[in-house]
């Protein structure tokens, strides 16, 4: 447990010094949001379209930001030292925790902006916030694993999106459906299918990643 926390702290400190990943992810989100809002103009889109747009922006912003932890390790050549220090499962969980906090920070800024700029009326905040919270685990878990895989490959940027999209698609499907219901209905019971699917996906992807991470990390 302590190793997980130490890996996480190391990444937080490194991030604090350069602020590379948080800048990339935030700016990408703001640029995409501005582009979308500008293109739509004064027209208020329906809840269904707004829910989809929100998740598209979130997904592509996380695509630009989640792979930084592993790529930075490879580029600064600290990966070998890290291999000696901690067990693979702990490294994965530490990086996963970092990505989770990164996503939460992104959403703290993106959600109010999106609601304000796109005029997204949310009827039930319980549904919305629980969807976001559970969905983050799936996004961060799958994203961290795929980031580890592509950090060993040669062409890093585009490959991450291509590989991550099929893996993260269940989160998108359930998330968009649940967010749409958050804007339309008023009861938490209506989204129990989606929340169950998101929760199950999060558990499965994290367990599978812990089991498989050893093979990616150690030569």
Contacts with another protein by CB under 8 A lie at 142, 145-146, 149-150, 152-155, 159, 162-163, 165-167, 169-170, 173, 177, 193, 197, 200-201, 204-205, 208-209, 212, 215-216, 219
CA–CA gap between residue 105 and residue 28 (Å, rounded): 14
CB of 212 to another protein, least distance (A): 5
CB of 208 to another protein, least distance (A): 4
Given a contact cutoff of 8 angstroms between Cβ atoms, the answer to whether 145 and 168 are in contact is no
Q: Which is nearer to another protein, 44 or 193 (CB)?
A: 193
Helices (H), 41-156: 47-65, 68-75, 79-85, 88-118, 125-151
First to last CA, the chain: 24
Q: Which is nearer to another protein, 62 or 209 (CB)?
A: 209
Given a contact cutoff of 8 angstroms between Cβ atoms, the answer to whether 142 and 205 are in contact is yes
Q: Which is nearer to another protein, 23 or 193 (CB)?
A: 193
Given a contact cutoff of 8 angstroms between Cβ atoms, the answer to whether 113 and 80 are in contact is no
CB of 47 to another protein, least distance (A): 17
CA–CA gap between residue 101 and residue 96 (Å, rounded): 9
CA–CA gap between residue 115 and residue 128 (Å, rounded): 12
Q: Which is nearer to another protein, 112 or 157 (CB)?
A: 157
CB of 196 to another protein, least distance (A): 9
CB of 110 to another protein, least distance (A): 25
Q: Which is nearer to another protein, 132 or 216 (CB)?
A: 216
CA–CA gap between residue 138 and residue 133 (Å, rounded): 10
């Amino acid at each position: 447990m302590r190793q997980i926390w130490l890996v996480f702290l190391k990444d937080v400190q490194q991030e604090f010094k350069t602020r590379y990943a948080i800048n990339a992810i935030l700016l990408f989100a703001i640029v995409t949001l501005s582009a979308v809002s500008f293109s739509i103009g004064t027209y208020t889109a329906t809840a269904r379209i707004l829910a989809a747009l929100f998740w598209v922006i979130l997904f592509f912003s996380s695509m630009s930001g989640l792979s930084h932890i592993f790529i930075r390790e490879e580029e600064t050549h600290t990966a070998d030292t890290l291999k000696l220090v901690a067990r693979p499962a702990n490294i994965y969980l530490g990086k996963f925790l970092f990505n989770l906090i990164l996503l939460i920070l992104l959403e703290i800024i993106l959600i109010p902006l999106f609601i304000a700029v796109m005029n997204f009326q949310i009827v039930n905040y319980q549904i919305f916030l629980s969807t976001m919270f559970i969905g983050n685990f799936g996004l961060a878990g799958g994203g961290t694993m795929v980031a580890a895989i592509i950090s060993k490959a040669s062409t890093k940027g585009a490959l991450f999106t291509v590989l991550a999209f099929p893996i993260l698609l269940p989160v998108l499907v359930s998330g968009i459906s649940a967010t749409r219901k958050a804007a339309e209905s008023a009861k938490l019971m209506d989204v129990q299918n989606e929340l169950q699917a998101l929760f199950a996906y999060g558990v499965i992807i994290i367990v599978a990643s812990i089991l498989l991470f050893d093979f990616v990390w150690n030569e």
